[in-house]
Amino acid sequence: MNGSFDDKYDMIGQPPGTLTPIGVKVAKETRIHYVVYDKETKIEKKDSTVQECKKIIESGKNVWIKVIGLSNIDAMHEIGSVFDIHALVLEDVINSNQRPKYEEYDTYLFFIAKLLSYDKAASTVDSSHVSLIMGENYLITFLEDNLPEFFILDQRMDNKNGKIRLKTIDFLSYSILDIIVDCHILLLNDISEDLEELEEKLVQSPGNEDIQIIQKLKRNLIHVRKSIWPLREIVGKLEKEDVKYVSGQNSHYYRDLYEHAVQALETIDNYRDMLSGFLDIYLSSVSNRMNETMKVLTIISTIFIPLSFIAGLYGMNFANMPELGWDHGYHYSLALMAAIVCVMVIFFRNRQWL
């Protein structure tokens, strides 16, 4: 058994909670940053330690801890030990193939989401694994790498009169999920542009490559739906007022976010219906084009039937065929053929077959 086969099946049969990175980007190191904030102050530190973050949490202030890079198993074990994170949670954190999910534990809430982006040139959907652990006064985010989509949160936190600084930690988690849902909606807008271009092309000049474009767009929509559907369930649970660590004053934000997720799902279903219609348009266009080709070939064959008859008749070479002795018999036969062609073409045009 070769090494690559062994590596591929290393995870099979391992005990629950065994940390085996699956699909995550390989980072050189695991970096930990934190932001401590309240109404008056904001303190940010990069390249911190786990123990330092633990002390900051115990101070009672709102803390956003950013863990960037998930492939360092020793660092993940240390984070789990210091913050008392269940081994099964850490296992899901470093498994980028894990579907979005929501779980409640005694001292924190755990949820996973997928941040999607769209490569318009290649018509492909890229996915980033985002895990969040929210406690009473802290939020820990686990990212495979720095995501530029979250940089806006740092700018918003610089405003001491902004809602993030004025509200509890659950508003920060809402803001992150809101960015993720917005990315889904922006992605769907990009796909909508591709659908419009495809529809115009199918109507004007359908080609053999269109069926591949339709199938690729269908796969992209399935990918987006697999991400937004469980995310809707997550937000639906967080909007309930009896969820711990989610204050009643912020539940309506989650409710609004839930409606956006539902809207995205409805948009996906509409686009899938459109693609099914595009497939019908493509097949109809191909069928019509084939029918036009067959019509032309049929007309040509019909025109040559009497011509073939005349040519065959005078090609029999019987001795007592009087026309064979005519001085201008060859020219007469060509003229007859030409007259037949003209009459048939005029007849076909009158019938609007040409």
- Is 80 exceeded by the pLDDT of residue 4? no
Determine contact, residues 132/111, Cβ cutoff 8 Å: yes
In the predicted structure, residue 281 carries a pLDDT above the cut 90: no
Q: How confident is the model at residue 273 (pLDDT cuts 50, 70, 90)?
A: very high
User: Rounded CA gap, 84 and 18, in Å?
Assistant: 16
Mean pLDDT in residue range 162-174: 92
Q: Residue 2 pLDDT more than 50?
A: no
**201-205, 282-286, 338-342: range with highest mean pLDDT:** 338-342
Across the chain, mean pLDDT equals: 86
For the residues 305-323, what does the mean pLDDT come to?
82
Q: Who's near 130: CB < 8 A, 6+ residues apart?
A: 112, 113, 114, 115, 141, 142, 143, 147, 176, 180
pLDDT on residue 291: 85
Question: Which range (26-40, 102-116, 147-161, 264-278) has the least confidence?
Answer: 26-40
CA atoms of 139 and 171, how far apart (whole Å): 10
Q: What is the mean pLDDT of residues 177-196?
A: 94
Residue 5 above 80 pLDDT?
no
Per DSSP, which regions of 47-150 are E strands? 62-68, 101-104, 109-119, 124-134, 138-143
How much is the average pLDDT of 118-134?
90
When mean pLDDT is compared across 26-40, 164-178, 263-277, 294-308, the lowest value belongs to 26-40
Say if residue 20's pLDDT is above 70: no
119, 202, 208, 295, 297 from 290: Cα distances, Å: 35, 15, 13, 8, 11
Q: Look at the block and give the residue holding tokens 């789990």.
A: 80
Residue 321: how many CB atoms within 10 A of its CB?
Answer: 12
The helix/strand/coil state of 245 is: coil
pLDDT of residue 349: 86
What distance in Å separates the CA atoms of residue 98 and residue 102, rounded to the nearest whole number?
12
Chain segment 222-260, per-residue pLDDT in tens: 999 999 999 999 999 888 767 888 888 888 999 999 999
For the sheet with 109-119, list strands across it.
Answer: 42-45, 31-37, 62-68, 138-143, 124-134, 109-119, 101-104
Question: Of 71-85, 86-100, 244-258, 322-336, which range is least confident?
Answer: 322-336
Split at pLDDT 50, 70, 90, the class of 333 is confident
Tokens of 90: 């850490």
CATH class of the domain whose range is 290-350: mainly alpha
Assign 62 a pLDDT band (cuts: 50, 70, 90): very high
Q: pTM to 2 decimals?
A: 0.79
Residues near 21 by Cβ (< 8 Å), separated by ≥ 6? 70, 71, 73, 94, 95
Identify the H or E element spanning 37.
strand 31-37
What pLDDT band is residue 193 in, cutting at 50, 70 and 90?
A: very high
At which residue do the structure tokens 């999607």 appear? 116
Distance CA 113, CA 99 (A): 8
Contact (Cβ atoms closer than 8 angstroms) between residue 153 and residue 175: yes
Tokens of 271: 């686009």
- CB neighbour list of residue 337: distance below 8 Å, 6 or more residues apart: 306, 307, 310
Q: Compute the distance between CA of residue 92 and CA of residue 112 in angstroms, rounded to an integer.
A: 8
DSSP string, 256-274: HHHHHHHHHHHHHHHHHHH
Please state the domain extents for the chain: 16-285, 290-350
Q: What average pLDDT score do residues 38-55 get?
A: 90
- Find the mean pLDDT for residues 126-148: 92
Longest dimension (CA), the chain: 122
Q: Which fold has domain 16-285?
A: Beta Polymerase; domain 2 (3.30.460)
